[in-house]
């Protein structure tokens, strides 16, 4: 089963490259086995074209390396913090995709202007507050997770499956690694469209509540009817 977990994490990392979300070694993906309390994550600083499933590092929820010859991603504490906080997710993805990172660096949320965005997020893609000098100087990666969790207070993480870290970049998540990757694609896509929309109409208002509700709820929740269903 842990070999399957490593393969899931590996495939998620490689998918980020295929979707054009990765430059150099900027980014990582993890996948968790909830029953065992162990997650697999990309090794730190290893080029994507050199990766193999066996390179994935196994870490437990206490932060202890369980298996792997390489060091886990430097962002491992952030992944661990989110996996601990959001019990319904099975994966975390981090990229520095250009348009989403532009919003993060500017400290601005990605506004929800249209139905493409509303199909996946029940509102704007939020941005955290800036981290304090004390947070940066201490357990930086763990504190990165903390500011995300703080900003998500009272919000269902599956209704808002991603966030921008102020001055940093996006993190996304999902029930599976494939879904977390999909959300990373979505965040970059809606960021790119929002930038173009703001060029056309700098004071553009966000989507009407009725249209947001219609598009989000036709794909999510008990009344969803989009797609082929489970039957």
Among 17-21, 86-90, 225-229, whose mean pLDDT is lowest?
A: 225-229
73 in any annotated domain: yes
Band (pLDDT 50/70/90 cuts) for residue 231 is: very low
Number of domains in the chain: 1
69 in any annotated domain: yes
DSSP state, 50? G
How far apart CA 165 and CA 109 sit, in angstroms, is 10
The chain-wide mean pLDDT, for the chain, equals: 95
Whichever domain contains 136, its CATH number is 3.40.225.10
- What number of residues does the chain have? 231
229 in any annotated domain: no
Query: Which tens digits make up the pLDDT trace of 119-134?
Result: 999 999 999 999 999 9
Return the structure tokens found at 28. 């990582």
119 in any annotated domain: yes
Mean of pLDDT values over 86-115? 98
228 in any annotated domain: no
224 in any annotated domain: no
Q: Which of 60, 88, 159, 226 is catalytic?
A: 226
Question: Is pLDDT above 70 for 230?
Answer: no
DSSP state, 92? E
Mean of pLDDT values over 151-167? 97
Q: Which of 33, 119, 140, 192 is catalytic?
A: 119
Q: Would the pTM count as exceeding 0.85?
A: yes
225 in any annotated domain: no
Domain hosting 108: range is 2-217
Mean of pLDDT values over 89-96? 98
226 in any annotated domain: no
Q: Give the three-class secondary structure for 93.
A: strand
At a CB cut-off of 8 Å and minimum separation 6, what does 215 contact?
A: 115, 118, 119
Active-site annotation holds for 119 = yes
């Amino acid at each position: 089963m842990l070999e399957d977990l490593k393969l899931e994490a590996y495939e998620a990392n490689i998918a980020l490259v295929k979707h054009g979300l990765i430059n150099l070694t900027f980014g990582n993906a993890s996948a968790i086995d909830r029953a065992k309390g162990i997650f697999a994550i990309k090794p730190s600083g290893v080029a994507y074209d050199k990766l193999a499933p066996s390179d994935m590092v196994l870490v437990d929820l206490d932060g202890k390396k369980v298996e792997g010859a390489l060091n886990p991603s430097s962002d491992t504490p952030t992944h661990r913090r989110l996996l601990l906080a959001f019990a319904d997710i099975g994966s975390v993805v981090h990229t520095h995709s250009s348009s989403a990172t532009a919003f993060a660096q500017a400290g601005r949320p990605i506004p929800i202007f249209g139905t493409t965005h509303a199909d996946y997020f029940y509102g704007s893609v939020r941005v955290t507050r800036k981290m304090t000098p004390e947070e940066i100087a201490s357990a930086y990666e763990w504190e990165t997770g903390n500011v995300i969790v703080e900003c998500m207070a009272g919000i269902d993480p599956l209704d808002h499956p991603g966030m921008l870290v102020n001055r940093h970049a996006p993190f996304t998540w999902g029930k599976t690694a494939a879904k977390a990757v999909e959300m990373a694609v979505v965040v970059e896509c809606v960021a790119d469209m929002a930038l173009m929309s703001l060029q056309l109409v700098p004071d553009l208002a966000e989507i009407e509540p009725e249209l947001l509700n219609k598009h989000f709820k036709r794909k999510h929740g008990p009344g969803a009817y989009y797609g082929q269903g489970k039957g």
